[in-house]
Structure 1
Amino acid sequence: MEQLYDMKPKIETMKTKIKDMEAHIAAQKEQIETLQNRKTMKCESGVVVKYANPPPSWPYIQSVQFKSHFEERPTVTYGLYFLDSDRSTNLRVITEITDVTKTGFRMKLTSYDDSKLYGAKINWMACGK
């Protein structure tokens, strides 16, 4: 009988550990289910280029169509990575993305005042569901 009483604390400790493990397993199952049910995110990228000598007229607007449409309007990020201008004038450039939809967007490049901009290249990336 003494041996049974000695085992009681160990049994209670094991019961607690089993409950903790069951809770952990339930949380893991919930995470797996969430991951299986979420829609996958996709990204698409490209480049917008305008270059000419003599300098082209500005603004330059290009419509970009995605290769495959998104289920929701994606987030579009971009960066200017190439710029060629006349060194004797001030450099003024504005880049903006407008009209973002599930199927594409518009990229606008603008130079103003006395700036002589020969060309610019912009990388973009659209990500979403």
Structure 2
Amino acid sequence: MIPLFADLRLIAVFICCIGYASTTLCQSGEVNFMSYPKSPFPQEKRIKFERPFTERPVVMYAIKMIDSQYNTNTRIKVKLQWVRPERFSLFMTSAYDSKLFGLGVSWMACP
């Protein structure tokens, strides 16, 4: 059985390595759209990297914030449209009868 402290050391090393990679190789940021009472969606956002990559990077993204009408279903579509070494495009919209007033997306691109 592995002691609890050994697990914590592994987690600390893993977090340290992620932080190092994001500051030297990867780039990250956020996209936020907010508007009330009129929905600003659909939206396409083209994001330019601070430093262009030498090849097409891998882009990961996650929804970080949702502002929707309380009495309807919340259905959201976020799609990575295309990726180039110098920029990429995200498409964000609500789906079906959802009323979406705000959406935040965090992203990270790595070679």
If the length of structure 1 is used for normalisation, what is the TM-score? 0.65
Look up the SS of the partner of 1:126 in the other structure.
Answer: strand
Residue in 2 that maps onto 1:75: 58
Shift of 1:113: 2.0
Structure 1: runs of 5+ lacking an equivalent: 1-40
Shift of 1:117: 0.5
Structure 2: runs of 5+ lacking an equivalent: 1-23
Shift of 1:65: 0.3
Residue in 2 that maps onto 1:92: 75
Q: How many matched pairs?
A: 88
Shift of 1:58: 2.1
The structure whose residues are more often strand, as a share, is: 2
Root mean square deviation of aligned Cα: 1.2
Query: What is the percentage of aligned positions where both structures have the same residue?
Result: 35
If the length of structure 2 is used for normalisation, what is the TM-score? 0.75
Residue in 1 that maps onto 2:28: 45
Q: Is the radius of gyration larger for structure 1 or structure 2?
A: 1
Q: Find the partner of 1:118 among 88, 101, 107.
A: 101
